[in-house]
């Protein structure tokens, strides 16, 4: 295959603005994040994608532990009668459950659901483990694979039949403690999205129609992708006593009285990787925020036979210095590829900074730093390269967040009347704020007439009230959008 | 419930020597390592057990990465036709596969196996990814849950229908490189078992009858549990070109010729936790080697109303010092439990060192260190407590290994004739060394007549030869044992 064809094959062949969906798929496949597996709807998370997931896991796992939770692991299989024990929950999940009916060549007596979420199996254990107020709060998290038999078209990281996530499941003595837990863990997600993924989010409460099946209420963080559609990044639910009553999870309180526990659950998934792609990517491919980039800096030496040794020595020296600063660096010394090819490949993969060192740079005792997010190049003294790179990583992280924040602000609209909402929603670009009564029939009608769903009642505005944009009854501010 | 009953309920009620199997189950359940889930054969790994798994993962994951491998994630579901593509492989696994037949309320066109191991699904992807010698070696690992529909009695961590593991899958240009990979990864397992789990192992090759279905050969590490039965801790397989031929995984070599790749796979699982329990546990419960103990030191302050403040202050001070040394410490300041109750609980959980600090110790400016492995108590100056604790952790790690090594040596026998082998095997205590021809019918006969299976041909002795203990044909030294 000729070099030119190879480049074309490797690079993204559509513009983001022209065909966002095709652009997205090409970025995922060509940057090596993921691939389609042999079973419809199932993805393979390739090393580059999995390394990002490991960065996500590592940060979130630490916070989960710092906030007093412990990890555990519960079975993949849920007996049908357990899954169906909480009425609302089962209505929400049964249509998309994968069922195991045979073990070896024998038919099972009771078919087994593959967990679409683990409330039911975990709470069947909590019913056995919790006896006294001394056992509370019970604060457990698990990292696991999840299966939901989606029927809509597959979208890698966003809609697949199997995905990876963490799910926290807690039990408390009082509603107040459960409320605090819900808030605390949502705050962890806000912090993660904004400081690590460089994605600004709006946190708030879901409507009755959009809450988790079986929850008392659901809180969420919502982000705006660069095509103007919203994406739910994480949720934290107060389950009230719905599950404790269905699963008989009781404790003896300090006054020797039997009480049902109050519960929460909360989670984020590999969908976060989809959010990063759609928030920051450009026509050249992925753009990774430094905090979650598996490789933060790639050094590409420009190799010619007569100067190779000196150039590689300088490159090695810089690599060591950067590693000493805790920066993850790759030195791409492959001789079978030209520098231009390597530039394209690392840009496609979204590595935040590329350092170029060639014979001319050696002569001038310098190196070139190229930012992935802006494309800007800076020439620096080789002795200062490590320090400058470190500063630049911080600057890129901040700058990517600011850019996403500007986009969110400039794409959040206020609808004054129902016609406004219809028109704005049909433009398909951004969030539309309006007052909304909370009524499910009104919500359904807006979905049909405007093509927009409710995202959340922002915490920042939950004390405001006004007339519902559709029915004129009293309501709260809410955000509408087309959503993934 | 009275205090006494509570203690009885919490403690182990059988002696290890009297009923090993019941002792094992009680240790697992009562120390909080795991519990039975609602589906037969499925376990819940509770926080204490999962924390040990995290220690195991962390060490092995680092080695996997240091040796050049990358993590990825492949789908849980394997289409029936993929699973059955390699003949030997399918004969080995189909009898214990769980099958998904329905998604939501629809019957699937092709039933899906839940991975019993991932060779087939991973290699279907490798066939697409590998084109040229430049793509080799391909070095990938995944951490995943695995399902095998066992029909024998459940034994937590040892025989459950779902378990957790890592599985490495590599592709190479030559057999030699695959051989080296097999060895390299088995060495990682040896290192891990001996330095971290404090379990001495014998590494060697499996017989033809005992090798992995579809492999060219299988290498293994085998350990001797304290009831005298052997346990396979980890395996590393050279798959030859069996899978590359079945899955058509070819590459263009440096001479532009098409070749099939050579492959390896290797793995260890949550079964390692079972090995720790059975190697080191005693009548009081679990005994953890310091390297994999989630809590290495527990400080139990002896609390009385009038001296509580001073005692807790000293305990806090020591805790900080120990943490400063990178030691994981828990200060058990619970006031609703007596010190004696706490001693029992932490002994049950296997924490390597307990530090006691009471009012009398404060007066004498001392603390008491209690070793979990030997029960030995030492009184030390409070100023020296952190340093002594650090030394003691190292000593415990070494001493536990030595003890297990002595046990292994004193329970390895040499059978001179077939009657010897029969008698020794029936005693059920230890490994029996003998020469063996390698013939499958001979192996089957020994299994039936002596009740012992072949464990491995030790690498240390693979160049020796002698007459088969049963048929007198020329053979190699091999180890026989009853095994889990």
Q: Which residue of A has its CA nearest to B138?
A: A47
CATH code of the domain occupying A13-280:
3.30.930.10
- Sign of the alpha-carbon torsion through B121, B123, B127, B128: positive
Confidence check: pLDDT of A8 > 80: no
Model confidence at A377: pLDDT above 50 = yes
Measure Cα distances from B25 to A71, B43, B214 in Å: 22, 12, 34
What whole-number percentage of chain B has pLDDT above 90?
93
What is residue A50's predicted lDDT score, i.e. its pLDDT? 98
Tell me if A77 and B39 make a contact (CB, 8 A cut-off). yes
| Chain B contact set for A121 (CB, 8 A) | 37-38
Q: Tell me what ipTM this predicted complex has.
A: 0.96
What residue has token string 């069947």?
A124
Pick the CATH number of B413-481 from 2.60.120.260, 3.30.950.10, 3.30.110.30, 3.40.50.980: 3.30.110.30
| Alpha-carbon B261 to chain mean position | 30
Residue with tokens 């029939």: A441
CB A37 within 8 A of CB B121: yes
What's the confidence (pLDDT) of residue A428?
A: 64
Report residue B86's pLDDT band, with 50, 70 and 90 as the boundaries.
confident
> Which residues of chain B neighbour A336 with C-beta distances below 8 Å?
134
- DSSP state letter for B138: E
Least trusted range by pLDDT, from A299-303, B43-47, B150-154, B340-344 = B150-154
CA distance B327 to B297: 8
What's the rounded Cα separation, in Å, for the pair B388 and A159? 55
Q: Examine the pLDDT at B118 and tell me if it is beyond 60.
A: yes
Distance from the A89 Cα atom to the nearest Cα atom in chain B, whole angstroms: 15
Whose CA is closest to B291, among B198, B196, B201?
B196
Each residue's pLDDT tens digit, B443-478: 999 999 999 999 999 999 999 999 999 999 999 999
Q: Which residue has the tokens 């310098």?
A: A366
C-beta atoms of B79 and A149 within 8 A: no
Per the omega criterion (within 30 degrees of 0), is the bond before B221 cis? no
B2: pLDDT confidence band, cut at 50, 70 and 90? very low
Query: Where do the H-state alpha helices sit in A240-286?
Result: 242-247, 271-280
CB-closest option in A53, A74, A149 to B37:
A74
pLDDT tens track for B232-244: 999 999 999 999 9
CATH class of A297-392: alpha beta
The residues with which A267 forms a beta bridge, in sequence order, are A167, A235
- Closest-CA residue to B433 (of B477, B368, B474, B400): B477
Phi and psi at residue A355, in whole multiples of 5°?
A: -110, 125
Q: Do A73 and B95 touch (CB under 8 A)?
A: no
How far is A207 from A391, CA to CA, in rounded Å?
Answer: 43
Facing A79 at nearest CB: one of B39, B70, B129? B39
Residue among A46, A76, A98 whose CB faces B145 most closely: A76
The length of chain A, given as a count of residues: 484
Kindly report, residue by residue over B411-427, the tens digit of the pLDDT.
999 999 999 999 988 87
* Rg, C-alpha atoms of chain B: 25
Examine residue A124 and say whether the peptide bond preceding it is cis (omega within 30 degrees of 0).
no
Question: What Rg, from alpha-carbon coordinates, does chain A have?
Answer: 25
- B15-280: CATH topology is BirA Bifunctional Protein; domain 2 (3.30.930)
| Predicted confidence (pLDDT) at residue B5 exceeds the cutoff of 50 | no
pLDDT mean over A246-259:
97
Say whether B413-481 and B15-280 share the same fold. no
Question: CA-to-CA distance for A167 and B47, rounded, in angstroms?
Answer: 14
Q: Output the CA–CA distances (angstroms, integers) from residue B172 to A45, B135, B247, in the order listed.
A: 21, 9, 15
The secondary structure of residue B182, as a DSSP letter, is H
Rounded-to-integer distance, Cα A138 and Cα A418, Å: 46
From the CB of residue B264, how many other CB atoms can be counted at a distance below 10 Å? 28
Residue B172 sits at φ, ψ, to 5 deg, of: -135, 160
A99: chain B residues, CB-CB within 8 Å: 100-103
Task: Give the pLDDT of residue A426.
Answer: 83
Q: Which of A457, A436, A458 is nearest to A447 (CA)?
A: A436
Q: For residue B329, is it left (φ>0), alpha (ψ between -120 and 50) or beta?
A: beta
Residue whose C-alpha is closest to residue A200's, from A213, A189, A216: A189
Residue A3's pLDDT is 43
Q: Hey, how many other C-beta atoms are within 10 angstroms of the C-beta on A228?
A: 16
The CATH homologous superfamily of the domain defined by A412-481: C-terminal domain of ProRS (3.30.110.30)
Residue spans of the domains in chain B: they are: 15-280, 295-392, 413-481
Chain A partners of B164 at a C-beta cutoff of 8 Å?
Answer: 73
User: Which of B45, B94, B134 is nearest residue A73 as measured by Cβ atoms?
Assistant: B45
pLDDT by residue (tens digit) across A29-78? 999 999 999 999 999 999 999 999 999 999 999 999 999 999 999 999 99
Q: Evaluate whether B414 touches B435 at the Cβ level (below 8 Å).
A: no
Distance (Å, whole) CA A179 – CA A264: 8
Please write the tens of the pLDDT for every residue from B245-270: 999 999 999 999 999 999 999 999 99
CA-nearest residue to B335 within chain A is A134
- What architecture (CATH level 2) is domain B295-392? 3-Layer(aba) Sandwich (3.40)
Hey, are the CB atoms on A101 and B97 less than 8 Å from each other? no
What is the band of B3 on the pLDDT scale with cuts at 50, 70, 90? Answer: very low
Tell me how far apart the alpha carbons of residues A314 and A5 are, in angstroms, rounded to a whole number: 33
């Amino acid at each position: 295959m000729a070099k030119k064809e190879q480049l074309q094959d490797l690079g993204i062949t559509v513009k983001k603005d022209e065909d966002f969906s095709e652009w997205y798929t090409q970025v995922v496949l060509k940057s090596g994040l993921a691939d389609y597996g042999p079973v419809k709807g199932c993805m393979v998370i390739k090393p580059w994608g999995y390394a990002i997931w490991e960065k996500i896991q590592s940060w979130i796992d630490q916070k989960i532990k710092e906030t007093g939770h412990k990890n555990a692991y519960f079975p993949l299989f849920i007996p049908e009668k357990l899954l169906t024990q909480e009425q609302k929950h089962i209505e929400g999940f049964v249509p998309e459950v994968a069922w195991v009916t045979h073990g070896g060549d024998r038919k099972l007596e009771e078919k087994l659901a593959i967990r679409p979420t683990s409330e039911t199996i975990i709470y069947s254990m909590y019913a056995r483990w919790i006896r006294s107020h001394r056992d509370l709060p019970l604060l457990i998290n698990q990292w696991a694979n999840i299966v939901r038999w989606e029927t809509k078209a597959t979208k890698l990281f966003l809609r697949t039949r199997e995905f990876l996530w963490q799910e926290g499941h807690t039990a408390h003595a009082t509603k107040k403690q459960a409320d605090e837990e819900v808030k605390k863990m949502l705050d962890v997600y806000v912090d993660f999205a904004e400081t690590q993924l460089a994605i600004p989010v709006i946190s708030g409460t879901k409507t009755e129609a959009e809450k988790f099946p079986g929850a008392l209420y659901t809180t969420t963080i919502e982000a705006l992708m660069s095509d103007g559609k919203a994406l739910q990044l994480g949720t934290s639910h107060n389950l009230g006593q719905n599950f404790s009553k269905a699963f008989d999870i009781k404790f003896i309180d300090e006054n020797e009285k039997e009480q049902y526990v109050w519960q929460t659950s909360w989670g984020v998934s590999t969908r976060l990787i989809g959010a990063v792609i759609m928030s920051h990517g450009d026509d050249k491919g992925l753009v990774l925020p430094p905090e979650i980039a598996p490789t933060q800096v790639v050094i590409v030496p420009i190799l010619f036979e007569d100067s190779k040794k000196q150039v590689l020595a300088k490159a090695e020296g810089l690599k060591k210095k950067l590693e000493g600063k805790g920066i993850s660096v790759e030195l791409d010394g492959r001789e079978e590829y030209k520098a231009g090819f390597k530039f394209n490949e690392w840009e496609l993969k979204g590595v935040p900074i590329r350092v170029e060192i060639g014979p001319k740079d050696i002569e001038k005792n310098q190196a070139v730093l190229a930012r992935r997010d802006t494309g800007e190049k800076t020439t620096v003294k080789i002795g200062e390269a490590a320090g400058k790179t470190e500063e630049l990583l911080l600057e890129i992280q901040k700058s990517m967040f600011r850019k996403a924040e500007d986009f969110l602000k400039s794409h959040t609209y206020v609808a004054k009347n129902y016609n406004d909402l219809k028109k704005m929603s049909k433009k398909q670009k951004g969030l539309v704020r309006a007052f909304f009564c909370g009524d499910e029939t009104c919500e359904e009608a807006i979905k049909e007439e405007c093509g927009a769903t409710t995202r959340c009642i922002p915490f920042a505005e939950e004390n405001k009230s006004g007339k519902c944009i559709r029915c004129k009854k009293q309501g709260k501010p809410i955000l509408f959008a087309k959503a993934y």
